[in-house]
């Protein structure tokens, strides 16, 4: 048994560490407020609860203006925005990005990211963060079908269903597969449902699947979202579960929406945060990261139906309200979910982005 003076010393050390962290946070807050602005990119308010998350950050730090660029951009567009604005300190230069997992390491390799480890770093799983702090997982979801029940009598339950004649001019992706992580992983999931091995094999099979869908006249080359679904332009949208569930809430039964996790090809996708190496407001960017990875920020994402990076640690600590857990789809729906590795995502991204025009041959916009 350790002597009592050791316990007293440990308590003093903990108190000292907490004080240092508090002082560091106060210093960071002051520096961020002095910068006065945070520029984000590709954060639609109906994605992962970002509307409320941004509002929460503004309420906590009213001295910092949040400049929101191009909410509907894809991951590749975010990377290009950093490249195009190197040395630009104006409002078109993003401070932070939220991109698909495969884009984190490539952005680091190109020297586009600024390393930073948030105070809750240890609770982010090692498998979804860069050891040096250049990028770190923020949340994940699974691929789903969002269905307008006013226009679709029989709800599809699996990938082969979407090729049936009854779904003519009905099926859309939620992004351009040449630039959108969400769309790229939709093809990976479709390819996996056809027995493809995650990576290039499933990417190639996904291209074949969508070529078949396009030839059958079922594919709609329009970027699908809640608005296009409600208007009838895209009655079925292949989309992350959290986006579909958020849209269902927003539409409030007009039209009624089914959200289906397919029975095969159940694919989970992790997104990651990073700070631009050329951020005009680096301290505001770090403060934004601290907010996102705080309990408040993580619960904000969970309210938007996303499983946040610290989900397991927070659940173990009893920090997740029961009503938020009850609002999620049944846990069984996620049991078959496959988390592709970075290498598998990179291989599928390369196959899909390079092959879409030649194999499928339609412009999604």
Kindly state whether residue 20 falls inside one of the protein's structural domains: no
* Domain with 246 in it: 141-268+331-360
pLDDT digits (tens, 9 = 90+) for 143-188: 999 999 999 999 999 999 999 999 999 999 999 999 898 999 999 9
**27 in any annotated domain:** no
- Number of domains the chain contains: 2
Same domain, yes or no: 345 and 307: no
**Structure-block tokens of residue 329:** 């789809």
pLDDT digits (tens, 9 = 90+) for 308-329: 999 989 989 999 999 998 888 7
Classify residue 11: in a domain, yes or no. no
Look up the pTM and report it: 0.80
Residue 100 lies in a domain: yes
Residue 312: give its domain's CATH number. Answer: 3.40.190.10
Are residues 341 and 279 part of one domain? no
Residue 13 falls inside a structural domain: no
Same domain, 248 and 308: no
Q: Looking at the structure, tell me whether residues 191 and 64 fall in a common domain.
A: no
Judgement on whether residues 153 and 75 belong to the same structural domain of the protein: no
Percent of the chain with pLDDT over 90: 80
Do 263 and 310 lie in one domain? The reply is no
Any domain includes 7 = no
Does residue 252 share a domain with residue 131?
no
The pLDDT value given to residue 342: 85
Residue 29 in domain: no
- Per the document, the length of the chain is 365
30, part of any domain: no
Q: Is the peptide bond before 255 cis (omega within 30 degrees of 0)?
A: yes
Per-residue pLDDT 10s for the chain (365 aa) are 333 333 344 344 344 444 445 569 999 999 999 999 999 999 999 899 999 999 999 999 999 999 999 998 989 999 999 999 998 988 999 999 999 998 999 999 999 999 999 999 999 999 899 999 999 999 999 999 999 999 999 999 999 999 999 999 999 999 999 989 899 999 999 999 999 998 899 999 999 999 999 999 999 999 999 999 999 999 999 999 999 999 999 999 999 999 999 999 999 889 999 999 999 999 999 999 999 999 999 999 999 999 999 998 998 999 999 999 888 877 777 778 888 888 898 899 999 999 999 999 999 98
Based on the domain organization, do 71 and 105 belong to the same domain?
A: yes
My answer on whether 203 and 250 are in the same domain is yes
């Amino acid at each position: 048994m350790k002597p009592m003076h050791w316990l007293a010393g440990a308590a003093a050390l903990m108190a000292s560490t907490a004080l240092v962290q508090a002082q560091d946070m106060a210093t960071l807050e002051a520096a961020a407020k002095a910068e006065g602005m945070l520029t984000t990119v590709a954060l639609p308010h109906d994605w992962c609860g970002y509307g409320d998350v941004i509002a929460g950050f503004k309420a906590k730090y009213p001295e910092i203006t949040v400049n929101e660029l191009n909410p509907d951009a894809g991951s590749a567009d975010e990377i290009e925005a950093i490249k195009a604005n190197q040395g630009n300190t104006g409002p078109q230069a993003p401070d932070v990005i939220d991109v698909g997992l495969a884009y984190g390491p490539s952005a680091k390799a190109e020297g586009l990211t600024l390393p930073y480890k948030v105070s809750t770093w240890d609770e982010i799983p090692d498998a979804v963060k860069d050891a040096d702090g250049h990028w770190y997982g923020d949340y994940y979801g699974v691929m789903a079908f969002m269905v307008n029940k006013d226009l679709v009598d029989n709800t599809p339950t699996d990938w082969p269903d979407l090729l049936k004649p009854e779904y003519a001019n009905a099926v859309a992706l939620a992004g351009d597969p040449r630039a959108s992580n969400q769309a790229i992983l939709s093809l990976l999931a479709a390819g996996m449902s056809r027995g493809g091995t995650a990576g290039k094999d499933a990417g190639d099979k996904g291209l074949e699947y969508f070529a078949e869908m396009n030839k059958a006249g079922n594919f709609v080359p329009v970027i699908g979202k809640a608005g296009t679904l409600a208007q009838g332009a895209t009655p079925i949208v292949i989309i992350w579960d959290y986006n579909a569930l958020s849209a269902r809430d927003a539409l409030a039964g007009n039209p009624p929406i089914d959200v289906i996790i397919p029975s095969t090809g159940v694919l989970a996708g992790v997104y990651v945060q990073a700070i631009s190496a050329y951020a005009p407001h680096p301290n505001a960017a770090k403060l934004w990261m601290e907010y996102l990875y705080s309990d408040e920020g993580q619960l904000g994402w969970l309210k938007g139906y996303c499983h946040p990076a610290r989900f397991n640690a927070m659940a173990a600590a009893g920090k997740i309200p029961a009503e938020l857990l009850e609002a999620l789809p049944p846990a069984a729906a996620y049991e078959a979910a496959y988390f592709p590795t970075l290498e598998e995502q990179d291989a599928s991204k390369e196959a899909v982005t390079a092959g879409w025009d030649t194999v499928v041959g339609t412009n999604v916009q």
